[in-house]
Amino acid sequence: MLSKRFFSSLTAAALAMAIVGSPALAQEKEHKDQHKNETKVKGEQPREVGKKQDGKKEGVAVGGTAPTFTIRDTDNKEVSLSSILGDGNIVVLQWFNPDCPFVVKHYKETKTFNDLHAKYSGKKVVFLAINSGAPGQQGTGLKRNQEAKKEWSIPYPILLDESGETGKAYGAKNTPGMYIVTPDGKIAYKGAIDDDNSAKGPGKTNYVANALDEILAKKPVTTTETKPYGCSVKYANK
Amino acid sequence: MNTTGVLVLLLFAAAVPLAYSQPVEQPSSQHVKATLICETTTIQPNSTVHIGVLFQIEKGWHIYWDGQNDSGMPPRFHMMLPDGCTAGEWLWPAPKRHISPGDVLDHVYENEVLLILPIRVGTNVKPGEKIAFRIEADWLVCQHMCIPESAKLELEVPITNDRTKPGNHSKYFEIARTTIPKAWPLGHGHAAVWRGNEITIRGKNAESVAFFPSKSCPEIDNLLKRGQTKGDSISLHFPKMGELPAPQQRVTGVVELRFKGVKQPVYYSVDFLRPPGGG
């Protein structure tokens, strides 16, 4: 039986979604202007971002080099993957859309991401949320993402990859889609956050936590890839 | 209690039997209207009845098939059956391919779809009473955005010893059955041939072939491009097939065959086991 709490949370989520598409504020426009051509992506090999090679799948493979990027966050600060890795950190990338019901579940209902961040606090693990939605799509815009960061007390940066270049370089298709990058710049895990692919309820196995535990213990990662789930990343229409 | 889904089914007696199946529609949301319907006006004891959830989807929006998708979530149902009643498996009509920006491939339903559930009714139900079906369902509906929706649905059907008759909604069941996959026919010029980790499925005289993998089907190389072809055959490559235990080395899903001059495709449910060594 579905709980009243669940139905009320759905209502709240729907209300949150209703604000999508509202006119951008002046602050947001200013932010966009500052962001023009700010997204810089460097992949394992020089190539045109978003173009397939040899007919193979777009995106990164486990064991491959993570495409580097420099993207501004919702505080208008530049965040550089290579700089963070250069400090010896493990980086957890989470594709983000504050109005995707699967993302809402993990922040509002199950607290998955905040708990995960707290668990690895002080262990040289840096979390980054990346929103690759194009302007005008669901869950995009500076204001909406600033609101989500505040509402859910997200303790790490939300990067606005409005061109979608970084998302496509990684082959990110879902929110929340997860990647773990080790300090040497290699992809150690990609896939789902956990084993419950519904828009409600916590999973029993957190794949990201398991992989982080093994990396921190200097052990090989047992499960390096899972099928991600969630909403589609809201890239620009072609 | 059936733990696979989200549906509540209750049985109780009523003072005055209804003359026909009475769906109780409840507003769910602005994008999908869900209605619980029955194929027949009455139910006989010791028989099988087909009920279904009819999803009427706002133009431009879609809900998800219960197979492999890059995103989304298929409708889910919760079920608790009274004594004497047992439910079969949900019958899912064939979906259509849907590609979103970023090469996100999903298999979806648009406009209208009926998911059918066979219910076996026992001998302990009494004529003159009625069965009330109560369903709680939730689903995800997407367009440029995704929204979770849900509904509580009710349907009361009288029990009689008389022969059952098609109800007001029987046409929806007839339509749905035209797109519910049938078993892959042996012979008829159709064929499935393995070659290593690749299978070629041929539909005799087909103008185009598409394949929709089930959730248990192993990963297919570049399904986005190779999951739909012109001509009478489709070749699917499974890069990781050899790594799986032998019982899991099988291709499961739905094959869609389109024929020249025929509007309605033909859908087959397939389960092709890879022979030892890959054929």
Report cis status (omega within 30 of 0) of the bond before A176: yes
B58 touches chain A (CB under 8 A): no
pLDDT tens column, B167-203: 889 999 999 999 999 999 877 788 999 999 999 999 9
The tokens for A47 are 């190539």
Pairing mode, strands A68-72 and A40-42: antiparallel
Per-residue pLDDT in tens (0 to 9) along chain A, 238 residues: 334 443 344 333 333 333 333 333 344 444 444 444 345 555 433 333 333 433 445 689 999 999 999 999 999 999 999 999 999 999 999 999 999 999 999 999 999 999 999 999 999 999 999 999 999 999 999 999 999 999 999 999 999 999 999 999 999 999 999 999 999 999 999 999 999 988 888 899 999 999 999 999 999 999 999 999 999 999 998 7
Contact between B71 and A230 under an 8 Å Cβ cutoff? The reply is yes
Nearest residue, CB atoms, A235 vs list B102, B138, B149: B102
Nearest 5 degrees, angle CA A156-CA A161-CA A162? 135
Are A232 and B144 within 8 A, CB to CB? no
Quote the minimal CA–CA distance from B169 to chain A in Å. 27
Are B147 and A101 within 8 A, CB to CB? yes
Quote the minimal CA–CA distance from B266 to chain A in Å. 29
Task: Give the whole-angstrom CA distance, residue A222 versus residue A215.
Answer: 10
Nearest residue, CB atoms, A1 vs list B106, B136, B225: B136
Pairing mode, strands B130-142 and B146-158: antiparallel
Quote the minimal CA–CA distance from A228 to chain B in Å. 8
Query: Which residues of chain A have a CB within 8 Å of the CB of B102?
Result: 164, 167-168, 172-173, 232-233, 235
Task: Give the whole-angstrom CA distance, residue A186 versus residue B277.
Answer: 35
Residue B154 has pLDDT above 80, yes or no: yes
What DSSP character marks residue A165? H
Interface probe with A: pick from B144, B220, B240, most Cβ of A within 10 Å: B144
Task: Give the whole-angstrom CA distance, residue A216 versus residue A179.
Answer: 16
ipTM reported for the complex, 2 dp: 0.77
Quote the minimal CA–CA distance from A120 to chain B in Å. 28
Q: What is the pTM of this model?
A: 0.82
**Coil, helix or strand for B220?**
coil
- Which of A157-166, B7-16, B151-160 has the lowest average pLDDT? B7-16
